[in-house]
Amino acid sequence: MYHPLRKTNTFTVSDIADFKNKVLHWAQSFDEIVWLDSNGHEDRYGAFDALLAVDGLTSLVTDVQNAFSDLKEYQEGIHDWIFGYLSYDLKNDIELLSSKNFDGLHFPELYFFQPKKIIRITGNTIDFIYLNMVGDEIDADFGTISRRKLPKKGGIQAANDIRIKLRTFKDDYFKRVAELLAHIHRGDIYEANFCQEFYAENTIIDSLRTYRKLNAISKAPFATFLKFQDKFLLSASPERYLKKKGNRIVSQPIKGTAKRATDPKMDAGLRSALKKDAKERAENIMIVDLVRNDLSKSAIKGSVRIEELCEVYSFEQVHQMISTVTAEVAENKNPVDIIRETFPMGSMTGAPKISAMRIIEVLEAFKRGLYSGAVGYFTPKGDFDFNVVIRSILYNASEKYVSYAVGGAITAKSVPEREYEECLLKAKAMREVLEG
């Protein structure tokens, strides 16, 4: 697609897996990197197999105050691709809320940049979409990437001697869930996503190797490698938060998790049991109602539709229950306003949304930050696509702090022991990658 600010050259590559490894390895020399990888998952709403953005020309980095207004001004003024993230705590810019829990990561609340260089992979086709100022570097970069020598596969290994600590111990987790259940029985809320942090201090990891190991284990459809100077996100997210294409928006909340089994018959039984599980279906339907309500704030009246309800999808580590909600928006509807009116995503908050966010802020022992936020991009036409930051490792290299968090939906039918087991199941891949 022609864009006046950018030059595009297209190449064909026979070994896409090899090229993907090489291009991500090549990208490591830049201070700003966003890599989005579908890992070959079929996605009827997908626009590419993988997308890389590097080397910021301009950027927006801000705290909570007026963050969405600043992003709107930046997005409207650039008229170009921008890539970045929204932290969960931008909730405080939308509602009268606060975040005062412990923060070991110290990421900015919002970070977007206009990349000089974008590389898009679709099938065997590679599009180099470069700003005109660096357009004459396309052929040289393609050659450099194609000739790049990669470390041997044995180089994908866990960091050594990582000591994972729990921010919330098991007994304390049960106590906090009991408090959540008391709120539910009183009628303050009827569902809340309650999260806990696992962390390691004074720890150095090889961010690229750690990401590659996590991605090899999980093969998630919304995998992300993000680097902003000394701060890294290594994500195996299975969930789309929100996508806009033209005047259509799509949200695909996940609620409901079951483990996988190596025996095909047993695995099919686990999948079937999740599909029929009344508690998991109730959780999912509650969040679908919340998402419908969120989308209706932006949508043309009467256009919100449920395209899929409680469908079960299988990933490398787990089965997940996913629903798909769509809506139509007016041609002149600002894309940042659509995000503001639906953020944070319902699957990571609860219902009613504001009450749930207020209660979990009191009961959780850490500041979520980028965890349960979103990473994605805006196109020059104002389309966008953002994931949900879950199943992810966050790393501040300067402070040598590594963190991953997991959560689960608490409803009136929740059994604390089962919720704790589900958290450990979701944490399995991150722990395996870090500890080996």
Per DSSP (E only), the strands in 330-391 are 350-351, 374-378, 384-387
Catalytic residue among 109, 191, 239, 361: 239
Q: What are the structure tokens assigned to 7, written together?
A: 């030059």
Per DSSP (E only), the strands in 49-91 are 50-62, 82-86
Distance CA 248, CA 330 (A): 9
Q: Are 371 and 86 in contact, with CB atoms under 8 Å apart?
A: no
Q: Are 225 and 33 in contact, with CB atoms under 8 Å apart?
A: yes
Would you call 243 a catalytic residue per the annotation? no
Determine the length of the chain: 436
Distance CA 84, CA 110 (A): 8
Give the CA distances from residue 196 to residues 29, 263, 320, 363, 406, in Å, rounded to whole numbers and listed in that order. 33, 31, 20, 10, 6
Q: What are the structure tokens assigned to 235, written together?
A: 């994500």
Give the CA distances from residue 151 to residues 22, 35, 204, 248, in Å, rounded to whole numbers and listed in that order. 10, 19, 19, 43
Would you call 213 a catalytic residue per the annotation? no
- Amino acid in the structure at residue 153: K
Catalytic residue among 255, 353, 367, 426: 255
Residue 56, classified by CB atoms within 10 Å of its CB into exposed (0-12), middle (13-18) or buried (19+), is buried
Q: Are 192 and 426 in contact, with CB atoms under 8 Å apart?
A: no
Positions marked active-site: 239, 255
